[in-house]
Chains A and B, each alone.
Chain A
Amino acid sequence: MDFSLTKEQIALKVEFEAFFREEMKNAPPDIGHVHESDAAFDFHRYMMKRLGEKGWIAISWPEEYGGSGRPLMDHYLFNTVRASFGAPGIDQFGAEMYGPTVLLAGSEEQKKRLLPPIARGEVVYCQGWSEPNSGSDLASLKTSAKRDGDHYVVNGQKIWNTGGNRADRIFMLARTNPEEPRGKGLSIFSADMRSEGIEVRPIEYMDGRGEVYNYNEVWFTNVRIPAEDRIGPENAGWKITRETMNFERSGIGGFIMVEQMLEKLVDYCKSARRNGKLLAEDPSVRLKLAEIYAELQAKRTIADRIAWLQDSAGSHKIPPHYASEGKVMGTELIQKVTYLATELLGRHGQVTKSEWTKIKGVAESFYMCVGANIYAGSNEIQRNITAWAGLGLPRFS
């Protein structure tokens, strides 16, 4: 066994680091999530372009589709470094979900047409899966797509659509067979967000200040989608989606967030006093911080394993419970370190993003961590998958 990186990988990592160190100098001050302001989103677009030029958005895609044709491990390394700089520039939906879906199930024509713009960082996608009554039970979704000549006519409502108000395109699931109420009647489409009949209505996140998250309802009224933008055979959408769901779920981004918050918290404890004593000298504080460290080091190894499995298989397809484990552990550890931060900050732990902030990101994370336990398949659903697929436990229906 060997957990170390090769010489080439180390060199690549150094190259990534040098790039982000330089480019992040252009970031708007105090940058948070990419939709927090126009300036933040502009910078995201700019970084997409820059990463596209470097060939790093689609590192592992074949060159004929705009990729760099490199191993999946390079992609993992790239994500690790990017997360450590808190850098934007990767469209989580286009580059990490829709692109790989097209790669897996698209026609040659679709791959040539749809993938290069994603690889060049020219297009921002959003994800239209969830509906008001179809969240965990996604396969029950009702948005309909009826064939009409060389188009489909789409009607229905999507919800929780992250970044839909700024995206150029949406990739989505819609029901092409109304006789089949579940997965067997679904197909994959994508559409221009400026299409006639698409309406985006913002949803306000819990904080009420728009600082933490940006999601929307997307309404479809007789939206005409060209049939050439259906990915995969009609009614095969669910089968394909179940495979693409697990793309990029190594969860490394989450673990890096934990690492960074832990570092900031340690720094804070080395200088802040409580009842006249340095927090860092308080044994109960020391042990709690050390506990997070141990959990982090143990849990992040799952991200390494996922990356290695994918890399050696030369494909994203790995047993799905690994992805579920990574999602659960990453999100719950962020929550744990965030709550510890709010505890150790004392009264300052309740301050939201402002000039009063003591540790950057804690307030945003306090709000966001509960969302993270729900999105991308709730942690209950991930545990169900882990139990069923990982352990073969009985499944009652």
Chain B
Amino acid sequence: MDLGFTEEEEMLRDAVAEVLDKGAPFDKVKEIEMTAEGYDPALWQQLAELEMLGIFFPEQYGGSDLPFIHVAIVMEELGKRAIHCPYMSTVVESGLLITEGGNDRQKEARLPRIAAGELFMSCAFYEEEGGYSKECIQMEAVKDGNDWVLNGSKLFVPDANIAEALIVAARTEEGITLFLTDTRASGVRLDKIPTVGMDNLCRVKFHNLKVSEVLGEVGRGWELVEKVAGKFAAAKCAEMVGGMKTALEMTVGYSKEREQYGRPIGGYQALQHYMANMLMAYDTSFNYLYKVIWKIDASRDYAVDAAALKAYVNQSYNYVAERSIQIHGGIGTTRECDIGLFYRRAKACEYAAGDTRHHLENVAAAMGL
């Protein structure tokens, strides 16, 4: 067993941390989330220059071909700053689907542009039903000669407002199929949905949109999604573990400084027990996260663990963030105090890459129930 990071991994973490410490202070994060674009183009370029945007892509497509643990490290560092940036939608989700399911031409056309920071993409899977299963996808793609025609709405599509292209899941006669679509086509309408995360979730409406490009095989789109879903979840968990770490540190730090009744509030055992619980939630989440990441990189079965991890981390991050506010007292409820960012992000993260019910259902099924 060796539960440490390699020197290379540490270096990568330091490099990302340096860029984010400069480019993403909390004030900036709060300023950016209020803008229509909802991300910081300058920061994105810096991440591109650091070669973080093609981190696991094959080298021939502009990537670094590094193991998944590097993705986790980047996500963790992003999560520590509670920053929204299109890393999950573009690099992790779209990038994984294209590397796993795309043909050479599709990879060639998109991966190098993503890696260079020139292309944003996102996945438009889910609809009116709030869930995550195949049954929640009702939109039909109607065959029209060599093309298909899309009509209907997708909800909570991350970063669609800045994405040039979407991977849309729709039903065809053969089954669920993934289509590559251009968001700037005239049959596409976008609205940003106001959410607690303020993180660029959109409704995308399709009106007689003609599409011709399929990702993977017609009718087998959902298999492709399921193949990478565990990695989506694990990557998101890394962001959440990062968030937990900062929330815990900020709270412990504050509780040592803030005095009431002539003593630091961190000395009161009621609060100490919350913080002890928060530390346990963090430590276990961190360890389990990297165990799952290791399984991914070691090509072991990881699907069930990734589901269990996401369910666990959903609960843990929400707990840590909520208690963080409580320990801060009144100041914690303000926009000015940065701890509120984590309360809001924890909730938003809960829904990304599968909510608790969804993952626990999968775990229960895997347990033979």
Contact = CB atoms under 8 A, between A and B. Distances in A.
A112 interface: no
Interface stretch (B44-52, B296-304, B344-352): B344-352
Contacts of B326: 370, 373-374, 378-380
A204 B271 CA distance: 26
Contacts of A159: 330
A253 B362 CA distance: 40
B259 to A, nearest CB: 8
Contact of A351 (B194, B262, B330, B340): B194
A208 B196 contact: no
B130 A346 contact: yes
Interface in A121-168: 130, 133-137, 140, 159-160
B355 A346 contact: yes
Interface residues of B, number: 48
Contacts of A297: none
Contacts of B343: 206, 370
22 contacts: A137-B262, A159-B330, A203-B336, A204-B335, A206-B334, A208-B30, A274-B130, A275-B129, A275-B131, A284-B357, A339-B318, A346-B129, A346-B131, A347-B126, A347-B131, A347-B155, A350-B195, A352-B196, A356-B194, A370-B332, A371-B333, A373-B326
Interface in B313-369: 318, 322, 325-326, 329-330, 332-337, 340, 343-344, 347-348, 350-351, 355-357
A156 B48 CA distance: 51
Contact of B330 (A130, A367, A384): A130
A325 to B, nearest CB: 16
A343 interface: yes
Contacts of B332: 370, 374
A293 interface: no
A346 B194 CA distance: 15
Contacts of A367: 196
B336 A204 contact: yes
B196 A350 contact: yes
A356 B192 CA distance: 11
Interface string A330-356: 000000000100110111111111101
Interface-centre pick from A133, A276, A375 (highest chain B CB count, 10 A): A276
A41 interface: no
A137 B261 contact: yes
A343 B356 contact: yes
B268 interface: yes
A343 B129 contact: no
Interface in A77-93: none
Interface in A50-68: none
A136 B130 contact: no
A335 to B, nearest CB: 8
The residue among A160, A204, A347, A348 with the most chain B CB atoms within 10 A of its own CB is A347
B247 to A, nearest CB: 13
Nearest to A277: B135
Interface string A259-275: 00000000000001111
Given A137-B261, A275-B131, A370-B333, A351 B136 contact: no
Given A275-B135, A275-B136, A352 B333 contact: no
A208 B34 contact: yes
Interface string A202-216: 011111100001000
A339 B136 CA distance: 23
A383 B194 CA distance: 36
Contact of A366 (B155, B196, B335, B355): B196
Contact of A205 (B130, B329, B335, B356): B335
B329 A378 contact: yes
A272 B130 contact: yes
Given A345-B130, A373-B326, A366 B270 contact: no
Contacts of A204: 334-336
Output the residue of A130, A374, A384 with the most chain B CB within 10 A: A374
A342 B333 contact: no
Contacts of B260: 134-137, 140
